[in-house]
Amino acid sequence: MTLQKEQALLDAYEKFIQLNLGNVPLELAPGLVAENMMIYDTAKDERVFSLKDYLQIVSNQREQSKGHIVQIAATPVFHKTSAKEDVATIVTKLILKIMVEGNQHEICIRLTTVMEFQNEQWLAVHVHASKSDDRSTSGGTLHLKEWESKNEQLQQLVNEKTADLEHKNRQLEIEAALERVRAKMMAMHKSEELKEVIQLILDQLCGLQFNIDSASFVVDFRKSLDLRVWVAAPGQQYASLINLPYIDHPIFKRLVEAQEKEEHFYALTCTTEEKNRFFDHFFKYAPVTEERRKVMYSSTGWTQSSVLMKTVALNIYNYSGIPFSEEQNITVLRFGNVFEQTFTRFLDLQKAEEQAREAQIETALERVRSCSMAMQKSEELREVIQLVLDRLCDLNFNIHSASFAVELNESNDLRVWVAAPGQQYASRINFPYLNHLIFNRYVEAKEKGEEFYILTCTKEEKNRFFDHFFKYAPVPEDRRNIVYSSNGWAQSSMLMKTVALNIQNYDGVLYSEEQNNTLKRFGKVFEQTYTRFLDLQKAEAGAKEAVRQASLDRVRAEIASMRTTSDLERITPLIWKELSVLNVAFIRCGVFIMSEEQQQAHVYLSTPDGKAIAAFQLPFKNTELIEGVLSHWRNNRIFVDHWDAQKFAAWTKSLVEASLIKKG
């Protein structure tokens, strides 16, 4: 090849390169590129079979590279010309440095170009560009080992990314579960809602695929060896609060050890025998169905993970004996921290409720005190008694009746004021001692000097008591039926010096410690009320005695002024008047003056309006009536007789027939 033709080839190739880089106008392309230009690269839009297609690709490249700084360095690799010197193959290594948004990117390209001498000029007829990788080794024509290595690296990267995504998704699931607990916690308005939060924590852990058979939340565990636990199990609606006394067992001992060592977390595994021995103790205090007990006893072991915080401990259990994983234990720690916040809120709510409850109780007590101080008559005691019952009901006590036993030390019989919800006033009932648990426990408490006791009775014992009670109490039939059909009897009683306060329900459910403490406070207030009642009663008795004495003095004075037997006719109107002053309820009044010498009674009778109706003498052996009166008079005893209308009419008729009184 002549030197001139060789130089023309190099010039045409250089311009072709610059055309591709955008440094030569597209109008010059027909003098550098053949009409049948062919490019067949991997991308679909890099397949060219004409000059027109080629110009479209170059135009697109120029549009994409606008605004970017491109530097190029070319290194010849291979150059060969055909025997006829009309075809040349040129291979060049290109290093492209491109600035994109201030960052430099470097691309290494191996460019193979086929130039053909047509019509006295060199034209590019074929181009192939491939990304060069100098790091690649031979490994054979197909580079199988290299591909295997790259696939392994890629798979490892995929595995790492997958594990990372799974971990992140798991963390999102855990955080979502924790957030649900936080939301429930913030929505708490009453301390009793704690059981819902506890159950929610268990449900969230189960939703995270924890193998949990139950969870417990131990409160106040640093104050006592006994356990106060909220126990939750899958499928329950709410957790249950259980008080579990301490026993010598690994479950109890490990908790004590953790406290002594100030551990924040521990795990524990028990054998089947140890697990079942614990359940023997647990079932004495927990309301667990027989079916559930069988499942728990038949399980193979016990595994526990426990988180200890300042005031509460969170425990999760499974009965398969398979320890929880490290990841699960970390999650339990997170739930424990959230639950401690929940429990702190619970304590705040509980404190606020206790303060509100105390205000309620004090208000109720003050109403009783006020009612007590307002008493002007002893008969108003029944209103105070009913008020005590009503206020206890306002404090959500389950009370079917309340009774106030008085005159405790005089007899084992019961003299009680009985109040029931819905009554206007309490009723006073006297009923004699019966050999029965309710009476016997009452007598025992008096003899031992007990100030407080509780009592439960079966339905049969309760009904036997009411068989006796209803003989003396005016209770409607429908109320009796309700009392007889109820399940049992539960009673709390406070005994004071002169009075006892009792509350009862017929469900057989004992009152709580907090309710019993409240009852004691009411008892002390009622004792003050009863003391005031006794003072009023004493004052009333004194006043009544003074009135009675004045009446007697007037009667004596009037009798002393009488001079003749006819004056005695004034005696019945006088006594009528004085008995009326003393509020004695009667419809007739008569005076019998007994004479042993004459063996007869001088009788003076009155009309219904107190006027003298007759005066006559009755021989001692005249009638059954006079004989009865005479017998009691001689023994200085009060004579009581009951007349119905028929008997009264017959006696009146006999007096008329004897002309002792006038008819009409």
The CATH number assigned to the domain holding 290 equals 3.30.450.40
Q: Count the neighbouring beta carbons within 10 Å of the beta carbon of residue 87.
A: 15
Q: Is residue 631 part of a domain?
A: yes
Cα angle 617, 623, 629; round to 5: 80
Is residue 137 predicted with pLDDT exceeding 90?
no
Pair (326, 384) in one structural domain:
no
Beta-ladder partners of 241: 230
Mean pLDDT over residues 135-157, rounded? 65
Q: pLDDT tens digits, residue range 258-317? A: 999 999 999 999 999 999 999 999 999 888 888 889 999 999 999 999 999 887 899 999
The 3-state DSSP class for residue 443 equals helix
Cα angle 606, 611, 614; round to 5: 50
Q: Is residue 394 part of a domain?
A: yes
Q: Is residue 552 part of a domain?
A: no
Q: Which tokens is 51 given?
A: 């000059």
Pair (272, 304) in one structural domain:
yes
Mean pLDDT over residues 588-601, rounded? 83
CATH classification at residue 35? 3.10.450.50
Q: Count the neighbouring beta carbons within 10 Å of the beta carbon of residue 151.
A: 10
Pair (106, 185) in one structural domain:
no
Pair (14, 98) in one structural domain:
yes
pLDDT of residue 132: 63
Is residue 513 predicted with pLDDT exceeding 80?
yes
pLDDT of residue 425: 61
Q: pLDDT tens digits, residue range 9-29? A: 999 999 998 888 888 999 999
Q: Count the neighbouring beta carbons within 10 Å of the beta carbon of residue 571.
A: 21
Q: What is the mean pLDDT of the chain?
A: 84
Q: Is residue 225 part of a domain?
A: yes
Which residue blocks in 300-457 are alpha helix, DSSP H?
Answer: 326-373, 381-394, 437-448
Mean pLDDT over residues 564-577, rounded? 75
With contact defined as beta carbons under 8 Å apart, do 634 and 627 qualify?
no
Beta-ladder partners of 80: 89
Pair (520, 399) in one structural domain:
yes
Q: Which residues, including other chains, have CB under 8 Å from residue 161's CB and lie 6 or more apart? A: none
Confidence of residue 199 (pLDDT cuts 50, 70, 90): confident
Q: pLDDT tens digits, residue range 414-438? A: 888 888 887 766 788 888 999 999 9
Look at 68 and 398; give whichever has higher pLDDT: 398
Q: 327 to each of 306, 324, 339, 385, how far by Cα in Å? A: 14, 8, 18, 63
Residue that is last in its domain, among 79, 111, 131:
131
Confidence of residue 141 (pLDDT cuts 50, 70, 90): very low
Which of 18-22, 110-114, 156-160, 345-349 is the most confident on average?
Answer: 110-114
Pair (219, 306) in one structural domain:
yes
Mean pLDDT over residues 240-252, rounded? 91
Look at 238 and 199; give whichever has higher pLDDT: 199
Residue 593, amino acid: I
Pair (317, 382) in one structural domain:
no
Nearest residue to 503 (alpha-carbon basis) of 597, 398, 424, 410:
398
Pair (602, 470) in one structural domain:
no
pLDDT of residue 270: 94
pLDDT of residue 142: 47
Pair (186, 99) in one structural domain:
no
Q: Which helix (H) or strand (E) holds 405?
A: strand 401-406
Give the total residue count for the chain. Answer: 664
DSSP designation for 225: S
Q: Is residue 185 part of a domain?
A: yes
Is residue 243 predicted with pLDDT exceeding 60?
yes
Residue that is last in its domain, among 103, 131, 159:
131
Look at 489 and 241; give whichever has higher pLDDT: 489
Pair (92, 220) in one structural domain:
no
What's the number of CA atoms in the CB half-sphere (13 Å) around residue 285?
17
Q: How many domains are there within the chain?
A: 4
Residue that is last in its domain, among 131, 152, 181:
131
pLDDT of residue 42: 57
In angstroms, how far is CA 102 from the centroid of its own chain? 63
Q: Is residue 27 part of a domain?
A: yes
Q: Is residue 368 part of a domain?
A: no
Q: Quick one: residue 76, left, alpha or beta (phi over 0 = left, psi -120 to 50 = alpha)?
A: beta
With pLDDT > 90 as the criterion, what percentage of the chain qualifies? 29
CA-CA distance, 121 to 115, in Å (whole number)? 10
Domain extent, residue 394, equals 375-538
Pair (313, 192) in one structural domain:
yes
Q: Count the neighbouring beta carbons within 10 Å of the beta carbon of residue 238.
A: 14
Q: Which of 71-85, 139-153, 358-372, 529-543 has the lowest mean pLDDT?
A: 139-153
CA-CA distance, 14 to 368, in Å (whole number)? 114
Is residue 456 predicted with pLDDT exceeding 80?
yes
Pair (531, 385) in one structural domain:
yes
Beta-ladder partners of 430: 415
Q: Is residue 144 part of a domain?
A: no
Check the CA dihedral 449-453-457-463 and report its sign: positive
